[in-house]
Structure 1
């Protein structure tokens, strides 16, 4: 005799049903436009004396050029996602990250975030006259860690960054570091803390293959701890290995948004066109 079906659920009567786990939004970008206004663009006002007069008087050039960097971008990011941002140079990727981080105002539209997004980029500020270890301590304190946590984590952060692989660089001033060493240390500091939303702008492009593998594994760990990670990188390999979802921006407009293994081939085809 056939088992009766519950008309409400479509499953056999008495069967145990498991409710789907709700997806929790962490970033909602709703029809966002970002417009830069550049004063004096193409106006022949490159004269240093004229520029100095404008600085002293507070007067702006009469010529204003608008740069529409992000145009009507809409998407939702969810807890536990790692999202790659693809696009050619000048496509609006870094501008979008800065807007999500609250460093650039949206000219139109709205951005909602869960918690405070943390932006990590290769130009993140470190103090050149202080040692690497001292910068680690200051960076961790700025992220809200206690002095005890800082003392515990500093050796791990220095080891993760690899800056001591060719000598005791952690005790030397940051001005003695190569750009790659400084970028690795920035990433290592930021990745030592669990973030609700971590925005990474090209920081994984620096360092050797070993550091890239370590940093990509750390991104996966941050995702697993229920954070959301955005990664801007020209390294398609990093995007493929760390992000299950990708958003392709071109000229400030979303061209594609979906699984990485579907979006990346479209992007590569576009970039390799003749």
Structure 2
């Protein structure tokens, strides 16, 4: 009697593909942003006239709509530092404000992981208060507890360097130069980790020593699983700080890629113009 044919062993199931280590933190999907620029006020009683227009839902004379961002799409990942470059009025700051949730999107969607934090040269510190009070209030506004602010206070002041030539931290912010104010704003924001940190020109007013400290801190934020966006008109700052760049021109995304390649293409474009 012939031996029974052995039942073939089932083939082992193929191992599932490993999950991607690239975790999206910001997704912009066909984003359009339009806002209205009002004309100049004329004549007496302009406030009364404006109130009347609001109540009657009439438009403002001389108002015009600006289509600042036109169909922009990109995906940002955890651990990236992304520079935004482009000519004045290209939509960089507008896009950053929309990612931060400060401007509405007219078309498309923006998805973010965690709470983005926007840091700009005009960040809301109070000019009539001392630097010390602004460190406390700014830290609380960035989501730190009072105990965390107290624990990090000396490091924030030292990082900013504003006390290197005197006790400026005890003086009102209105006595600071633009560079001192920008350094303090960045120091407050960088004192905690962020899922997404958006920096709008805040590093351009610092000296070389502070820029080196800032770039080191940005590297640390990325290592802590954060994503950093940086708007700057300094191409060297973008290439030194960022590994990726988005080039916006007239509201459209012209190029997205390695920072050095995008900056080189942008510089070639500006030379032709």
TM over 0.5: yes
Distance, in Å, in 2 between the alignment partners of 1:158 and 1:129 is 18
How does 1:1-274 map onto structure 2 within 5 Å?
19=18, 21-39=20-38, 41=39, 46-49=41-44, 51-59=46-54, 60-274=59-273
Distance, in Å, in 2 between the alignment partners of 1:95 and 1:129 is 28
Deviations 1:201-238 (A, max 9, x none): 00010121100111111111111111000000011111
Runs (4+) off by over 4 Å? none
The alpha-carbon deviation at position 165 of structure 1 amounts to 1.1
Q: Secondary structure at the match of 1:254?
A: strand
Structure 2: runs of 5+ lacking an equivalent:
1-10
The aligned counterpart of 1:3 is: none
Distance, in Å, in 1 between the alignment partners of 2:201 and 2:166 is 26
Structure ID, larger Rg? 2
CA contact (8 A) 2:50 2:60 kept: no
The alignment covers a number of residue pairs equal to 259
The alpha-carbon deviation at position 20 of structure 1 amounts to 6.2
| Comparing 84-93 and 234-243, the one that deviates more | 234-243
CA contact (8 A) 2:117 2:142 kept: no
CA contact (8 A) 2:31 2:110 kept: yes
Deviations 1:148-191 (A, max 9, x none): 22111111100100100110001111111111111110010001
Q: Secondary structure at the match of 1:167?
A: coil
Distance, in Å, in 1 between the alignment partners of 2:43 and 2:22 is 55
Q: Secondary structure at the match of 2:272?
A: coil
Distance, in Å, in 2 between the alignment partners of 1:29 and 1:67 is 20
* 1:19–1:179 Cα change, 3 Å: same
Structure 1: runs of 5+ lacking an equivalent:
1-5, 10-15
Distance, in Å, in 2 between the alignment partners of 1:121 and 1:22 is 30
Pairwise CA RMSD of aligned residues?
2.1
